[in-house]
Amino acid sequence: MSATALDVHAVRSRFSALARPLAFFDGPGGTQCPDEVIDAISTYLRESNANIGAPYETSRRTDELVELAHERAASFLGCSAREVAFGQSMTALNFLLTRAFARELAPGDEVLVTRLDHDANVAPWLALEDDIGISIGFVDVHDDLSLDYDDLERQLTARTRVVAFPAAANSVGTAPDVRRVVELAHSVGALAWVDAVHYGPHGPIDVAAWGCDVLICSPYKFFGPHMGMAFGREEFLRAWRPYKVRPAADEPVGHRFELGTSQHELLAGFVAAVDYIDSLGWDGIVAHEHGLGARFLDGLPDGVMLHGLPTMEGRVPTFCFSVAERTARSVAEHLATRDIAVWSGNYYALETMRRLGLDEVDGAVRAGIVHYTTAEEVDRLLAGLAELV
């Protein structure tokens, strides 16, 4: 495939899961896996299943896999392999990392989060507010759901220790200027703590270019298995005292934050997922998604209210909307009868729902486009919505 064109039919042939009538617009809740990811997991379990550190063959293979997974994570994130940690989920890793960092916090220290965040990058800090008396501030958004950088700058003080924010909002698709937020955080000596879970399938991550200090993501959002992955700048990972068992390795430094036996079979799937993305290239993925996102926005029927940016500028192709006089749940159920998979609810973006004045349970409808989505599927979604208005 060329660097600028994506053959979506060739892509879909690599996914047995897509060989059905259902149109998957549920990628924001988890993407489908290409067959090579599934095969890598099963092959590991058949041929290499063992724990690490022993001299026999399958254990040696597992040692090699663990090392390879960290190397592939480093290439995906733009960091050193020693700065990577794998875990059960992004949420689990974030609670672990925030607890380690909390040993350096004191009552009155400040953490800023945003109205765009998934609660996995909010709740860990709110828990520390209860535990040790730090202060949590919420950076607001404009009416179009773009981040209010002026509000962020106003709230920064000499006591701000962390600015936690999403690289892309899982609810409304807003993609803040990561480098701009990082620079504002660093201007007062605060850490830039990035949730890249939702951004992961939509564009390249480069923690070095972004300058962030911590970044957390989830391979199951970018065509891999259910697990979490984190980057931490080496100087901080070495300074923080982790919660771990005493014999667990201290080197490489990222391993300090990996609790217990890793999900080795899932590491094999993760490696295959990164290889899969590399086989396509980001240029084709981004261009394809941008075109389909514009197609959706241009065709949105009257009577459907979009919550968020009205063009593809400053966003990823995840769309949050409401249909007049209908609950979000009823819209999702209607589309499901037409083999169209979307979500309704709050998507764990409580602050966003509150900012929009929506019911915190029913929320709104969410439809997400990824690179295996087709133009025909977008048209089916639009037709299904038109039936309701």
Enumerate domains of the chain plus CATH numbers.
8-32+281-386 (3.90.1150.10), 40-277 (3.40.640.10)
Say yes or no to pLDDT of 292 above 50. Answer: yes
Span 178-212, pLDDT tens digits: 999 999 999 999 999 999 999 999 999 999 999 99
The size of the chain, in residues, is 389
Average pLDDT, the chain: 96
* Amino acid (one-letter) located at 365: V
Span 126-156, pLDDT tens digits: 999 999 999 999 999 999 999 999 999 999 9
**What whole-number distance in Å separates Cα of residue 314 and Cα of residue 180?**
13
Confidence of residue 246 (pLDDT cuts 50, 70, 90): confident
pLDDT at 5: 86
Dihedral angle computed from the Cα positions of residues 243, 249, 251 and 254, in that order, rounded to the nearest 10 degrees: -40
**What whole-number distance in Å separates Cα of residue 222 and Cα of residue 333?**
26
Say yes or no to pLDDT of 2 above 80. Answer: no
CB atoms within 10 A of CB 293: 23
**What whole-number distance in Å separates Cα of residue 313 and Cα of residue 386?**
25
Say yes or no to pLDDT of 3 above 90. Answer: no
Instruction: Supply φ then ψ for residue 26, to 5 degrees.
Output: -105, 15
**What whole-number distance in Å separates Cα of residue 17 and Cα of residue 34?**
8
**What whole-number distance in Å separates Cα of residue 214 and Cα of residue 18?**
34
Say yes or no to pLDDT of 297 above 70. Answer: yes
Locus of tokens 């974030």: 94
pLDDT at 248: 85
SS3 call for 87: strand
CB of 198 closer than 8 Å to CB of 26: no
pLDDT at 4: 63
CB of 28 closer than 8 Å to CB of 366: yes
Say yes or no to pLDDT of 263 above 60. Answer: yes
CB of 272 closer than 8 Å to CB of 37: yes
Closest CA to 213 of 79, 76, 121: 79
Helix (H) or strand (E) holding 367: strand 364-368
Bridge partners (DSSP) of residue 160 are: 110
pLDDT at 332: 97
Say yes or no to pLDDT of 1 above 60. Answer: no
| Percent of the chain residues topping a pLDDT of 70 | 99
Determine the average pLDDT of the residues in 295-319.
97
**What whole-number distance in Å separates Cα of residue 181 and Cα of residue 163?**
8
- Measured N-to-C along each axis, helices 35-47 and 57-77 cross at an angle, to the nearest 10 degrees, of 150
Say yes or no to pLDDT of 296 above 80. Answer: yes
CB of 382 closer than 8 Å to CB of 389: no
Retrieve residue 30's tokens. 């988890």
Q: Apex CA 372: angle with CA 367 and CA 378, to 5°?
A: 45
CB of 156 closer than 8 Å to CB of 206: no
